[in-house]
Amino acid sequence: METYKAVFVDYLRKEMARRGKECEAAVMARLSVEDQQAFRALLPMAWISPQLGARILEAAGAVLFADHEDPIFELGRGQAHNDMTGIYRILMKVATVPMVIGRAATLFGTYHRKGAAAVEHQSGAANGVFLIKDYADLPAGIRRSVGGFITGLLELTGAKDIRVKSDESNPALWRWEIAWR
């Protein structure tokens, strides 16, 4: 079922082009023939299965961020920096972390046709929890990229000592514990 918007392909293609044809070939070599064809035809506004999205993220992460502890987390982080350009980048400098995380939760439905996101945060606290509920089959690769995306967003606000830790213990309610200074 196509429940995941493929906006991430724009960032992946930019990164692969920046790094050269060898990089693209290495990513493609990690995908099945069917997934290669899907990736080449994919538009950022297309709805795809989360499983296809996760396979593409896994393949690209392994090549683009091979030297990182969690390559897919780094993809999510990089995507946040890529996506927040122009006026958004300026607004990120004046936005509070809770405001940014709350907005990310509000926009979740723009990119996912399944599940819902929310934020738990006490006013004035330098921590919170990002939640995704009703999406038990959200693939691990996408969940890892969510953690990276949250980290990237917080970096753009100027927050320091950012910590994002996922809690995978309850598939009915995925959690990312977030702390910052």
Q: What mean pLDDT comes out for the span 113-132? A: 97
Q: What mean pLDDT comes out for the span 31-48? A: 98
Q: Where are the domains of the chain?
A: 4-68, 83-179
This prediction has a pTM of 0.95
Q: Is the pLDDT confidence value at 16 over 90?
A: yes
pLDDT at position 86: 87
Confidence of residue 89 (pLDDT cuts 50, 70, 90): confident
Domain covering 83-179 in this structure, CATH number: 3.30.980
Average pLDDT, rounded, for the chain: 96
pLDDT at position 63: 98
- Closest to 59 in 3D by CA, of 82, 76, 36, 81: 36
Q: Is the pLDDT confidence value at 37 over 90?
A: yes
User: Which two tokens mark 100?
Assistant: 């940014």
Lowest mean per-residue pLDDT among 61-65, 88-92, 153-157:
88-92
Q: What are the phi and psi torsion angles at 107 (to 5°)?
A: -80, -10
Confidence of residue 145 (pLDDT cuts 50, 70, 90): very high
